[in-house]
Chains A and B, each alone.
Chain A
Amino acid sequence: MEKKIQGKVFIMGDDVNTDVIIPAKYLIYTDPEELAKYAFSVMGPEYAERLKQFDIIVAGENFGCGSAREQGATAIKGLKKKAVIAKSFARIFYRNAINSALPIVECPEAVDVLKEGDQISIDFSLSKIQTPWGEFSFSPIPESVFKILEAGGLVEYLKASLRK
């Protein structure tokens, strides 16, 4: 896992739900690239097209609320988004993101100030976000959970630990 992530941000609001991220009819797919074709499609073709130009999703409260569908996280990976920063995450999405090796950060202070197109960098070693508006700290994911993200997701983590 990249300990330092950089990119331009795309702003979303509160309660971005899993039906919006990837509608039920596309759950027959698990391949991230395939899912990416349909991610956020309910928002209309222009929205999904614009999202492509940005690297990091920045969102409000309760990101990923709704279904337990794991493809909510893998679709965002398929879109080549490097991370999601939100004020708060819905709990199943949080787990699915960790398990899918999608880096997630909870940092309400950064979300409050960031604007579309801002160039930022996230440092997971220092638990800090550098933005044009200043530096923000975030609470690191607990070590026992972070290990899964670091290993490249749950499948990789399990393969490695079962080899021992």
Chain B
Amino acid sequence: MGMTLAEKILANKSGKSKVTSGEIVDAYPDAVMSHYASYRSVNVLKKIGVDKLYDPDRIVIIIDHRVPARTVENANQEKIARDFVKEKNLKNFYDVHKGIAHLVMMENGHVLPGDLVLGTDSHSTIYGCMGALGCGIGFTECASIWIIGKLWMKVPESYKIVLYGTFPKGVYAKDLILDFIGKVTANGCTYKSVEFHGDLIPRLTMSERMTLTCMSMEMGVKSAFIPPDEVTLSYLKGRTDRKINLIQPDEDAVYAKEFVVDVEKLEPVVAVPHNVDQVKKVSEVAGRPFHQAFVGSCANANLDDLRVVADILKGRKVHPDVRFIIAPSSQEVFLEATRAGIIQSLIGANVLVTNPGCSACGDDGGALADGEICLASSTRNFLGRMSNRKSEVYLGSPATVAASAIRGVMTDPREFVG
């Protein structure tokens, strides 16, 4: 019997020729990423009283989530991480200007197909867009891996999600995944590994793949994969010296469930407050006023997302009753968008463009007033997500956010696209 991607990777990383779902293995990750939480892991290390690191080259520390430091407390916490990096001579350190940790990881070749990559952030599932097994851990477990190099992992069952067709105009990867989460619910794939297959896959850009695997966390997955292919190879060009193996699931791998999605039947959707699985068609909420628009986060703030927004805003301005905040996902994306004239275009349309980072998604700017509503391209809309329990967050594609930011009310992007 063949193995799924999750089974193959966990077998490889635990030194076994074969594993089966439900089995607990000791797995050695290729990389462990800690972001803003790094100082907490450093403090845990001190508590345990161990100095020696298992393998410094597998440690990646990236300062994001609160960038630049907002308070003296933030600054002191960052300093703990920077001092640790210097003391241990860690080569994989990225400071406040680099952007969202997950993007920095992938842009700098820390995630390759077949890798096991853990991060102190739940959206580490995003690494599956590269065909790597990515999942989130807490900061104490991160410190543990720094010392002993391994952690226990239960081999998950796998689900297959087959995607057919091409996106209709005005419908994007964000609509696809929100629609799917709405159908299976937030608990629908808990502890499962999902694999996306089908004839849509070769047509998906790396950015669209990121949206799918990042947002998959919102249906509870342990990992989410797009099997690596030419698109993956193309993305990795110039980013790594390591040999790349386009790992695939076996032909006879066993999946506990199989879903089929006819992408041509999709429409723009939003997740309404206060859960990501409360999904409605944009047409059902159209006309609702709102106060803040946000395009940002590891789910949707890449070059293509910014371009979609700039195209919709062309020759127009943000509605006077709406604040539109955009946080590009990384320094690399910010630079490319600048060179392409996109940033100029956004600023000219009265968008507030911030430095790359988690921004409003991570409650780092863009707090909402009592009774206010935000429409965002980010990952979660839980109660109090944007700092205020008396506010609401809706989630949608960057196109939906942009179209709505022009009208001042929630708007179907197909009014502007196609």
A65 within 8 A of B: yes
Residues on B close to A: CB < 8 A?
24, 37, 40, 43-44, 47-50, 73-74, 77, 119-122, 124, 135-141, 144, 147-148, 152, 186-187, 190-191, 220, 222, 275, 277, 362-363, 380, 382-385, 387, 389
Kindly list chain A residues whose C-beta atoms are within 8 Å of the C-beta of B120. 68
With contact pairs A24-B362, A95-B138 given, residues A67 and B384 touching in the complex (Cβ less than 8 Å): no
State the 5 A-B residue pairs at the shortest beta-carbon distance, nearest first.
A70-B138, A68-B136, A19-B382, A42-B384, A42-B389
Kindly list chain A residues whose C-beta atoms are within 8 Å of the C-beta of B122. 66-68, 92
Kindly list chain B residues whose C-beta atoms are within 8 Å of the C-beta of A42. 383-384, 389
Can you offer 13 A-B residue contacts whose CB atoms are under 8 A?
A: A19-B385, A30-B40, A42-B384, A44-B389, A62-B187, A62-B190, A68-B137, A69-B138, A70-B138, A92-B135, A92-B137, A96-B140, A153-B140
The 8 A CB mask of A125-163 against B (1 = contact, 0 = none) is 000000000000000001011000000011100110010
Within 8 A of B (CB), among A3-52: 14-15, 17-20, 23-25, 27-28, 30, 41-44
Q: A159-B48, A162-B147 are known contacts; what are 16 more A-B pairs with Cβ within 8 Å?
A: A15-B275, A24-B362, A24-B363, A25-B363, A25-B387, A28-B74, A30-B40, A41-B389, A66-B122, A67-B121, A68-B122, A70-B139, A70-B141, A145-B152, A155-B47, A158-B148
A90 within 8 A of B: yes
With contact pairs A61-B187, A65-B220 given, residues A23 and B137 touching in the complex (Cβ less than 8 Å): no
Complex contact A145–B24 (CB within 8 A): yes
Residues on A close to B: CB < 8 A?
14-15, 17-20, 23-25, 27-28, 30, 41-44, 61-62, 65-70, 73, 88, 90-92, 95-96, 99-100, 142, 144-145, 153-155, 158-159, 162
A88→B191 CA distance, assembly (Å): 10
A67→B47 CA distance, assembly (Å): 24
B88 to chain A, nearest CB (A): 18
With contact pairs A15-B275, A25-B387 given, residues A91 and B141 touching in the complex (Cβ less than 8 Å): no
Kindly list chain B residues whose C-beta atoms are within 8 Å of the C-beta of A15. 186-187, 275, 277
Complex contact B140–A99 (CB within 8 A): yes
User: What residue of chain B has the Cβ atom nearest to residue A93's Cβ?
Assistant: B138
User: What residue of chain A has the Cβ atom nearest to residue B139's Cβ?
Assistant: A70
Kindly list chain A residues whose C-beta atoms are within 8 Å of the C-beta of B383. 19-20, 42-43
Complex contact A28–B77 (CB within 8 A): yes
Complex contact B141–A95 (CB within 8 A): yes
Q: How many A-B residue pairs have CB under 8 A?
A: 114
A154→B152 CA distance, assembly (Å): 12
Kindly list chain B residues whose C-beta atoms are within 8 Å of the C-beta of A69. 138
Complex contact B140–A17 (CB within 8 A): no
Kindly list chain A residues whose C-beta atoms are within 8 Å of the C-beta of B220. 62, 65, 90-91
B54 to chain A, nearest CB (A): 12
A44→B388 CA distance, assembly (Å): 11
With contact pairs A68-B137, A95-B138 given, residues A155 and B190 touching in the complex (Cβ less than 8 Å): no
A18→B187 CA distance, assembly (Å): 14
With contact pairs A15-B187, A99-B141 given, residues A30 and B43 touching in the complex (Cβ less than 8 Å): yes
Complex contact B140–A155 (CB within 8 A): yes
Kindly list chain A residues whose C-beta atoms are within 8 Å of the C-beta of B119. 68
Complex contact A144–B152 (CB within 8 A): yes
Kindly list chain A residues whose C-beta atoms are within 8 Å of the C-beta of B362. 24
A133 to chain B, nearest CB (A): 25
Kindly list chain A residues whose C-beta atoms are within 8 Å of the C-beta of B147. 158, 162
Complex contact A68–B121 (CB within 8 A): yes
Kindly list chain B residues whose C-beta atoms are within 8 Å of the C-beta of A155. 44, 47-48, 140
Of the candidates B37, B137, B140, B382, the one whose C-beta lies within 8 Å of that of A100 is: B140
Kindly list chain A residues whose C-beta atoms are within 8 Å of the C-beta of B47. 155
A19→B220 CA distance, assembly (Å): 15
Kindly list chain A residues whose C-beta atoms are within 8 Å of the C-beta of B148. 158
Complex contact A65–B187 (CB within 8 A): yes
Kindly list chain A residues whose C-beta atoms are within 8 Å of the C-beta of B382. 17-20, 66
